[in-house]
Amino acid sequence: MTNRRKIINDPVYGFISLPNDLIYDLVGHPWFQRLRNIRQLGLSSLVYPGAVHSRFQHSLGAMYLTGQA
């Protein structure tokens, strides 16, 4: 393994480090990157312009929390 490291700045949890190469490859996969364009909050951002949260951010936060457990 090449021991690649990537750190992502999350608005809720701060800097999240991807723990290993498998997670690095999963996050870089086009299917996972597609989550950047899917809104977690649906149409609420039309009513509340500050309510921006994607499935990508949600998935990274969930990964971070499961790593903390």
> What pTM was estimated for this model as a whole?
0.79
Q: Which residues make Cβ contacts (< 8 Å) with residue 51, sequence separation at least 6?
A: 41, 44, 45
pLDDT in tens, 2-22: 566 789 998 889 999 988 889
* pLDDT at residue number 42: 82
pLDDT in tens, 30-43: 999 999 999 888 88
Q: Is the pLDDT of residue 62 over 90?
A: yes
Residue 33 burial (CB < 10 Å; 0-12/13-18/19+)?
Answer: exposed
